[in-house]
Amino acid sequence: MDIQQFTTTTMNDLYQIAGVEVGQHYYWEVGTFQVHAQVLITSWVVMGILLGFSLVSTRNLQTIPTGSQNFIEYVLEFIRDLTRTQIGEEEYRPWVPFIGTLFLFIFVSNWSGALIPWKIIQLPHGELAAPTNDINTTVALALLTSIAYFYAGLQKRGISYFGKYIQPTPILLPINILEDFTKPLSLSFRLFGNILADELVVAVLISLVPLVVPIPMMFLGLFTSGIQALIFATLAAAYIGESMEGHH
């Protein structure tokens, strides 16, 4: 085999490897773009659940709350206290809706993966799963958080916000810049990895021992899913509070 033939064979093998796709995905063609339909479908379901529950709980507000109104007020108080603790008494109010939206969307998304049998819904390609089971969703949420804390810092401190990169010494400039890149990476991969691992463990156990073992694992998954939503919302609020304080 001459060198030219060997090179051609090697390149063809590399092209075949590059064309291998991990899992199957379902896409919508929108003009010249491919839209990841699996994530959109499940995200719309989650948003529909949140919107529907909010409308039902607030359509007949009472002075003394009962039932679903009582529950939703408890959730709002929890989110308000979380935001106030991380951001501060004076600055927290404008950020309650943002932190609350993050927490509720992630919480319901995580729980939907454990409670809703997405896999029974047949698609032409791929399969449905929780929105936070996809790296695209978690990266988008992490980038929104990054934009939020940059906005908060610039709004509060103006151009002097960028002075944090040379504190306490200009020698740390590269490290301080790198920190702003690692924050969204850690947020997105932590959430994605934990939700994906939980669903994989439950799926494997169901296939091996379908009757008994998966049940406690599913309850454990519900607990860890809630914890992951709380961690993401707490870190997002902490980053926003940190950006307005002007120190690390």
Q: Is the pLDDT assigned to residue 139 strictly greater than 70? A: yes
Q: Is the pLDDT assigned to residue 232 strictly greater than 90? A: yes
Residue given tokens 């939503």 in the structure block: 229
The rounded distance, in Å, linking the Cα atoms of 47 and 49 is 5
Helix (H) or strand (E) holding 232: helix 214-245
Q: 166 by DSSP, 3-state: which? A: helix
Mean pLDDT of 91-103: 93
Could you give the number of structural domains in the chain?
1
pLDDT, tens digit, for every residue of 123-135?
Answer: 777 777 888 988 8
- Does residue 28 sit within a domain? no
pLDDT, tens digit, for every residue of 15-52?
Answer: 443 343 445 667 777 778 777 788 888 899 999 999 99
The rounded distance, in Å, linking the Cα atoms of 22 and 197 is 16
Which pLDDT value is given to residue 83? 94
- Does residue 147 sit within a domain? yes
Q: Is the pLDDT assigned to residue 186 strictly greater than 50? A: yes
pLDDT, tens digit, for every residue of 146-171?
Answer: 999 999 989 888 888 888 888 777 88
Q: Which amino acid is at 67?
A: G
Read off the pLDDT band of 12 (50, 70, 90): low
The rounded distance, in Å, linking the Cα atoms of 152 and 79 is 19
- Does residue 124 sit within a domain? yes
- Does residue 34 sit within a domain? no
Q: Which two tokens mark 31?
A: 């003009």
- Does residue 59 sit within a domain? no
Which pLDDT value is given to residue 94? 92
Q: Is the pLDDT assigned to residue 116 strictly greater than 80? A: no
128: left (phi over 0), alpha (psi -120 to 50) or beta: beta
- Does residue 137 sit within a domain? yes
Q: What does pTM read for this prediction?
A: 0.81
Averaged pLDDT score across all residues of the chain? 80
- Does residue 40 sit within a domain? no
Identify the domain containing residue 134 by its residue range.
Answer: 67-246
- Does residue 22 sit within a domain? no
